[in-house]
A and B are shown apart, each in its own frame.
Chain A
Amino acid sequence: MTLLPGIIAFGLFSACLLSIGAVGFTLQFGVTNVLNLAYGGLLTSAMFVDYAIGRGSPNIWLALGVGAGWGALSSLLFARFIVAPYVRRGTSLVGMAMVTIAVGLVIQYGLEAIQGPFVYGFRVGAQSTVRVAGVTLSELQLVVMGVAAVLMVAVHLLLRYTRLGLAMRATASHASLARGCGVSTDNVRLAAWIVSGALCGISGALLGVSTGSFNPTSGAGFFITLVVAAIVGGVGKPYGAMLGSLIVGLISQAAAAVIAPQYNEIVAWLLLIVVLIVRPQGIFAEFAAQRELVG
């Protein structure tokens, strides 16, 4: 099995990249129940903003800062001025999916109009590489993995040891009960949108920097893959999303190595349909049958 070390190494790398976005997606979905299909558009926009601010510099710390700032700000505005009004109007769950996908289309084709016929790419030069067990990983990839690990620990600390985290978990598991216990669910849901947006922006900017070139549709496929990770782990469960990312990362790299490179996303996406049909509650966690929209 000469393929195995490669599958594990690159699987871990994609898992790390995925987990940042997947945790952000699932956190917001768990707290608000809004299926945010504009997440992919926001993710792609973070690459463009990072590129524009850094003039194509692949600096990872810049990507982190710009991604987090841009993601948090735009997600907050999106939640406050688009999602919340529609929810207050009584739009249904599917109606919200259509609202968010409409926003996603506006972002994607807006970026396309801005980009024009030009091709953009981060100036990723030759990098020092590290060889582990016969697999060559670039320094950038290792840093991305480290950043993802730190972010996951940060999310863990936020959820476990802060009052905000407690309020988020309470709102996610039973919104009206949480409200009854004095949790300001309005503020909690805005906080969830901000945290989710920041993670989304970071994930997008890091994806752009580690892939090099990007275009207005770059985030779309990656977005679907991270949704798979979130749903495999159980919707609304951040720890599930981390485990889901690991599973999806390894499976997609295995598919790429064993079948053909083009198949990594196809196999990952098929996993979503299988999981939704066989076990919609994800690999762990109980399924919330009655879902209540809180924009």
Chain B
Amino acid sequence: MSGGIEFYVSSLTLLFGINLIAVWGLDLQYGVTGIFNFAYIIFQAAGAYADGILSLHPANFYQAGETYVGGFHLPFPLPLLGATVAGGLLAVPVSFIVRRLRGDYQAMALLVLSLIATAFVTAQTNFLDGSLGLSFIPKPLYGSVLPASPVSYQWYYCAFVAFVALMVFFMVRAIVTSPFGRVLRAVRDSETAVASLGRSAHRARYIIFIFGGALAGLSGGLFVQYITSWTPTGWLYPETFLFLTAIVVGGAANLGGNVLGTLLVIIGIQEATRFLPQVVYPGLIDSLDWVVIGLALLAFLWFRPKGLVPERRRTLARFVPGQRRTADDLLLGTAAASGALAEVPDIGQPRSDES
């Protein structure tokens, strides 16, 4: 392979891994638990900024007129751990919104929070250098342990991202297949049933909100070490809908569906075209990418709201001979039998009360 193609392929591969981690984190919240986190991108941003200030020297070290807090110059992999913690910590205060509001109000409040965060970081120039952002964030182990050649270094970084993504996959799979995973799906489907069985929906949502935030932070840290700079224009509110579109297209609450969605939407539409030569004028392709993403979201919500790979029905057929029932049915059995659960509106699930 020529150097250019090799660089392109390795870039796409590691962007795939990084975005996949973020998509899994968001789908745990959105698809599995039913938290409409329209501010997901700010958790990724928190991770990226945290990684930046933990791995950079203090601002006055560079004599470049930058102003930001911290600058601890910690060795790899401490900044990445810091990024993960930052994403999780940010979720603690924000979880208050999730606790108090439901449905479209929750979605709107979080969307507004995303705008507030961008405006605040831009306005407060001495916090994270405002609209200029952080730059020259060091690539971990570049030129010391690993080769200082961009292309071969990138393959090492790719392998590292793949390793992290694999670990995240096992963790997320362990969560969704565990009894706690059943509680999460029950929180999404019927909070009343969860409460009636003595589980706390608040606690489940709280845990998964922090866990998803930490995954977003981790992906932000991995991302910023690859692109080496981070500004407010990199995490505007539409980015959250890029992840959501990937989830809706691939299939919510399905780890494999997330992989397919990330590949098609984020890599296929957004990233693959980033390296194309600019036609007509710079930025046209990027704008059209977003138009396509919006149209894809509309099309899938209409034609295939459950996505290309729908959520797997979890059956416990061997326990109930002659009748296939889902594990969630069993958990919610009592309430469902009494008709209390007759109507659980979900995205794309037809409601019977046609108005």
Measured CB to CB, the residues of A under 8 A from B are 35, 37, 82, 85-86, 88-99, 101-106, 108-110, 112-113, 116-117, 175-176, 220-221, 224, 227-228, 260, 262-263, 265-266, 269-270, 272-273, 276-277, 280, 292-294
Contact = CB atoms under 8 A, between A and B. Distances in A.
A277 B347 CA distance: 24
B281 interface: yes
B287 A92 contact: no
B349 A263 contact: no
A273 B36 CA distance: 15
A85 B303 CA distance: 12
Nearest to B282: A117
Contacts of A109: 287-291, 294
Interface of B: 36, 96-97, 100-101, 103-105, 107-109, 111-113, 115-116, 119-120, 122-123, 238, 241, 244-245, 248, 280-284, 287-291, 293-295, 297-298, 301-302, 305, 345-351, 354-355
Given A89-B302, A105-B241, A277-B97, A98 B112 contact: no
Contacts of B295: 102, 106
Contact of B120 (A90, A113, A266): A266
A272 B284 contact: no
A104 B241 CA distance: 11
A95 B348 contact: yes
A262 B122 contact: yes
Q: Could you tell me the dominant secondary structure of chain A's interface residues? A: helix
A89 B351 CA distance: 8
A294 B345 CA distance: 15
Contacts of B348: 89-92, 95
Given A262-B123, A277-B100, A97 B115 contact: no
Contact of B347 (A95, A112, A221, A294): A95
B291 A273 contact: no
Nearest to B110: A273
A89 B122 CA distance: 41
Contacts of A108: 238, 290
B283 A35 contact: no
Contacts of A99: 298, 301
28 contacts: A35-B107, A37-B108, A90-B345, A90-B350, A90-B351, A91-B301, A92-B348, A93-B103, A95-B348, A98-B297, A98-B301, A99-B301, A102-B241, A102-B301, A103-B294, A105-B241, A105-B294, A106-B295, A108-B290, A109-B288, A113-B287, A220-B115, A265-B119, A266-B120, A266-B123, A269-B119, A276-B105, A276-B109
